[in-house]
Structure 1
Amino acid sequence: MPKQDAQEQPKRAATRTDVARLAEVSTAVVSYVVNNGPRPVAASTRTRVLAAMEELDYRPNAVARALRMRSAQAVGLVVPDVSNTYFGALARELSVQAFTAGYALLLGDADNDIDRERAQVESLVSHQIDGLVIVSLDPASVAETGTTPTVFLDQRSRPGQLSVIVDDRGGAAQAVSHLIGHGRTRIALLSGPVGAPGVSEREQGWRQELETAGLPTGDDLIARSEFSRAGGFEAGQDLLSRAQRPDAVFVTSDVQALGLLAAARRRGVEVPRDLAVVSFDGTEDALFSDPPLTAIEQPIHRIAEAALSAVLEKGLEHSPLTIPVELVVRDSCGCESTDAESR
């Protein structure tokens, strides 16, 4: 095998000493230029240092600089499970908006573990981030964020914690009302784990709408699972094997609904003829499922915008700030799709 030409070898990253040597100044002066202080630098000297940095492609250590400057020009996000399509979409939108505002996004995945969530929060705060957004596994969690501006994207039970939430209860009620409008009378709930973000409120909306309509809400109509396709499949198998099978299901997340659809196919239950389905989230999972899912859509752009504003600008006028959701009709409920992309 021929030897790699010396010019093709990876270049060593330039150091502050290299910059100082090229600009004919001390390393301290390079530090003053990089950090804009604490001592003033003559304009001509600053120009030489900046030119040397550009010629050598010098990149200061971002973490060390953040510790000195008390700012990382970065925002942190901690979510329960980044593999969940909704949290992935949220992270992407926050990253786009943060970048536009001049900040990087640092992501922490709790892997559905409250101790890991706490560790992720502490790690991000130690990097001197400028703001922190948390979707917590526990509405009573106490995050050690110090002076870092923090906003939660879930219902909080502790006073003083800022939060931006969506109308989980109202969205669930809207979903169930839509299913009732299709003449469905045994509307089951495929719910998430007790205590998980939004679960209690979505269950309340489901129950409230059915009770108002005089329809059953018994435990035989409820199944629970993790927010995953596998969890939705197992819960769907359970629901569809019961003595009185439901004729509709409201599902608390798109990823669970994908599992439910797979369980229905396994058992020969046709959606929407035999089983109407409406999910919550409205991610790309809903758009590209088979059939496409009618869903309560969370406006991720508005959620990210409100969260960034809360941690980088002015906080919140009131907390919690509730953002409305929208029913997007596709095929899984029995309607003709109104979403042009799903046709």
Structure 2
Amino acid sequence: MTQSHSRRITRAEVAKEAGTSVAVVSYVINDGPRPVAEATRHRVLAAIKKTGYRPNGIARALASGSTQTYGLVVPNIANPFIASMAHALQREAFVDGKVLLLGDSGDNRERERELINNLLHRQVDGLIYTSVDRHPYIDLIQANGTPCVMLDQVDPGLNVSMIHVDEGQAAYQVTRHLIGHGYKGIGIICGPRDMLNTQDRIRGWQLALEEDGQEANPAWIFSTDYTRAGGYEATLRMLTGPLPRALFATNEQQAFGCLRALAERGLRVPHDLALVCFNGTEQSIYNTPSLTTVRQPVDNMARAAIDMLKNWDGEVRRAEFEFDLQVGESCGCSGHEASD
């Protein structure tokens, strides 16, 4: 019997080629539930290879109640922090014997909803989810009954499992680091003002300044997209008025855009303007100057998210992780130190 390219080979044809029953073929493919003699097993495997038979994964999933897949929905995979988290989740899912299906919403809430529906219709065994603006479609997921873990802090009233760092506290600590250098007049490049994570990061920045007796100058709050282009554009706006002495960019991409705009105007970091940022990756280390940044423990968070799905029992679980302050040169330090 030769492999057919025009139709799907059936288990009955494999059984005929191997000289056994369809049930025995199923036992070999599914590694049970009944044992198969080694010689018979070899005959079935040889018949599968010869006929080109491919098991129907969807049918197997329906029979077993598991698709061996997890879904991941993120706002924008172009963001290196999100990409690093996706990479870590993929690695942990693979260790668990699962395939990770990625959905990138492109910072669009309607697309986010469509991706969630698509993954739920594919009957993923669990969903890992970061919403565009921390207003997730939890009702949709919970109505479906699919286990879900949020990779961000959301309203506790939503009754959903989540892993996160305290972004307000992180923003406070990195701003305090600038204050520790003696800088007076600290501005912020933040994300869109209606986003909850933006509000958390602004709140931490404001608290640090207030505790030091400094004014959180509204003229030094530059709202923009969480992108290189956003950071570049916000810095150009900043350069049209009085300059702060130091600046907190609320993500790494904004910081890179800021550095570009400053370099074009001949301004040096940290000599003319000190800079720190949030959600740094390894790229921050290899930049010139290296960036002082808050880093989240991506590997540990990914492991915890997969463990929550793997051991799902319907109970809501939440885990808050400590962040690290990776000290580089952009703040005025010598660089490449680390502290909590």
With structure 1 as the length reference, what TM-score do the two structures score?
0.87
Q: Write the distance in 2 (CA, Å) between the matches of 1:65 and 1:271.
A: 58
Correspondences of 1:221-260 after superposition (within 5 Å)? 221-242=220-241, 244-260=242-258
Contact 2:184–2:214 at 8 Å: present in 1 too? yes
- Relative distance call for 1:42 and 1:93 in structure 2 (3 A) is closer
Q: Write the distance in 2 (CA, Å) between the matches of 1:49 and 1:286.
A: 54
Structure 1 residue 330: deviation in Å? 0.8
User: Which letter does structure 1 place at the counterpart of 2:91?
Assistant: V
CA RMSD of aligned residues (A): 2.7
**Which residue in the other structure is 2:93 paired with?**
98
2:10 aligns with one of 2, 5, 16: 16
Q: Write the distance in 2 (CA, Å) between the matches of 1:187 and 1:339.
A: 22
Structure 1 residue 57: deviation in Å? 5.9
Structure 1 residue 133: deviation in Å? 0.5
Aligned partner of residue 325 in structure 2, secondary structure: strand
- Relative distance call for 1:180 and 1:318 in structure 2 (3 A) is farther
Structure 1 residue 198: deviation in Å? 2.5
Contact 1:130–1:312 at 8 Å: present in 2 too? no
Unpaired segments of 5 or more residues in structure 1? 1-9
Contact 1:155–1:197 at 8 Å: present in 2 too? no
Aligned partner of residue 173 in structure 1, secondary structure: helix
- Relative distance call for 1:262 and 1:164 in structure 2 (3 A) is same
Aligned partner of residue 303 in structure 1, secondary structure: helix
Structure 1 residue 312: deviation in Å? 1.2
1:267 is the counterpart of 2:303 = no
- Relative distance call for 1:234 and 1:32 in structure 2 (3 A) is same
Contact 1:186–1:248 at 8 Å: present in 2 too? yes
1:43 aligns with one of 23, 30, 36: 36
Q: Write the distance in 2 (CA, Å) between the matches of 1:303 and 1:130.
A: 19
For 1:273-328, what per-residue CA distance to the aligned partner results, in whole angstroms no more than 9, with x for missing partners?
A: 01111111121231222211110011101110111111111569875421110111
For 1:213-240, what per-residue CA distance to the aligned partner results, in whole angstroms no more than 9, with x for missing partners?
A: 1112121010111111111110111122
1:141 is the counterpart of 2:141 = no
For 1:110-166, what per-residue CA distance to the aligned partner results, in whole angstroms no more than 9, with x for missing partners?
A: 110111111111111222222110001233322322121101011212431111111
Aligned partner of residue 91 in structure 1, secondary structure: helix
Structure 1 residue 46: deviation in Å? 5.5
Contact 2:147–2:312 at 8 Å: present in 1 too? no
Q: Write the distance in 2 (CA, Å) between the matches of 1:316 and 1:65.
A: 24
Correspondences of 1:1-343 after superposition (within 5 Å)? 15-17=9-11, 18-25=13-20, 30-31=25-26, 33-35=28-30, 43-44=36-37, 48-54=43-49, 58-143=53-138, 144-145=140-141, 146-157=144-155, 158-196=157-195, 198-242=197-241, 244-314=242-312, 319-339=317-337
Report the identity percentage: 38
- Relative distance call for 1:123 and 1:36 in structure 2 (3 A) is farther
Aligned partner of residue 278 in structure 2, secondary structure: strand
Q: Write the distance in 2 (CA, Å) between the matches of 1:291 and 1:135.
A: 31
Aligned partner of residue 163 in structure 1, secondary structure: strand
Unpaired segments of 5 or more residues in structure 2? none
Q: Write the distance in 2 (CA, Å) between the matches of 1:78 and 1:56.
A: 38
Q: Write the distance in 2 (CA, Å) between the matches of 1:13 and 1:181.
A: 71
Q: Write the distance in 2 (CA, Å) between the matches of 1:16 and 1:327.
A: 58
Question: How many residues are paired up?
Answer: 329
Q: Which moved more, 1:151-160 or 1:254-263?
A: 151-160
User: Which letter does structure 2 place at the counterpart of 1:194?
Assistant: R
User: Which letter does structure 1 place at the counterpart of 2:9?
Assistant: T
